[in-house]
Amino acid sequence: MHYSSPKMVCETKIVADEHDAIPGTKKESIMWSSPASSAALNPADARDARKDALFIREFERGDEEEVRRIFNEGIMERIPNTAFRGLGQQPRTQFLYALLTVMCFFMTKSVMLTCCAPLILMGARYYYSRKVIQNYLDCALHTDMADIEAYYMKPTGSCFWVAVLNGRVVGIVAAQGREDDNTVELRRMSVDSRYRGKGIAKALGRRVLEFAVRNNYAAVVLGTTAVKLAAHKLYESLGFRHTGQSEDYRLPGMSRSPLERLFFQIRYSRYRLQLREE
């Protein structure tokens, strides 16, 4: 049984260096800022520190527009990443495209058409990546992201947070509890592209870990289709361990038509952070 009461603090600790320990004990909100120096701050420096502090709090209904904007931006930027960078993770597809290019030459005997073949293949990858990812976005915006309060704020063992900097929502993350295996899933993490590189994603991730510890979950799990190595390094820096991957993952909204299978492939990686033994 799990409780979302802010008074309940689980004694389980996440193995981490001292400077990476999960701070705070309150459920409602937590302040994250750069480490303070040992010297006392003068009033002007103190005001600047408060201004630059990152405030992580629970989702409120008034956040909906900014939350959806950040989520939409994070999903849509996966289109070129999946179409082009993602090809580097698909050696069989690379071989197939090379074979098709060679076949084009033998069938047409045209050097010009053969040279155009890779461009046509990349164009098709972009088209199908855009089609599939837009379908996935539409699916998300009509399910959990359509009613965040119903999906994440009302159920026991789940929550949704926003990161606020200078009064502006700059990041989002959700936690969804699973009673069947006593885990909580980290979901929907995204940071406004204008505020990346400031440690916001890591602070959001730690907020989910703190929530899981406090509510006595055995582990935190997540799945990602991120192509960029930085995303995977982020999860590893939080203590997650890579537990497996699927090379031909099926996103919600995919039709799995022959052309879609030829021009859209995505790798799905699974991570797990064990908090305590069952």
Determine contact, residues 117/103, Cβ cutoff 8 Å: no
| Fold annotation for 53-274 | Aminopeptidase (3.40.630)
CA dihedral 220, 225, 231, 237 (to 10 degrees): 30
pLDDT tens series, the chain, 278 aa: 454 433 232 322 222 333 333 433 333 444 433 333 334 445 444 444 455 688 999 999 999 999 999 999 999 999 999 999 888 888 999 999 999 999 999 999 999 999 999 999 999 999 999 999 999 999 999 999 999 999 999 999 999 999 999 999 999 999 999 988 999 999 999 999 999 999 999 999 999 999 999 999 999 999 999 888 889 999 999 999 999 998 878 888 788 899 998 999 899 999 999 998 76
pTM of the full structure? 0.78
Task: Report how far apart, in Å, the C-alpha atoms of 249 and of each of 106, 123, 191, 231 are.
Answer: 33, 21, 24, 18
Instruction: Tell me the sheet residues that pair with 175.
Output: 159, 186
Note the pLDDT of residue 22: 41
Distance CA(116)–CA(26), nearest Å, equals 59
Would you list the domain boundaries of the chain? 53-274
Task: Report how far apart, in Å, the C-alpha atoms of 275 and of each of 19, 70, 181 are.
Answer: 18, 30, 13
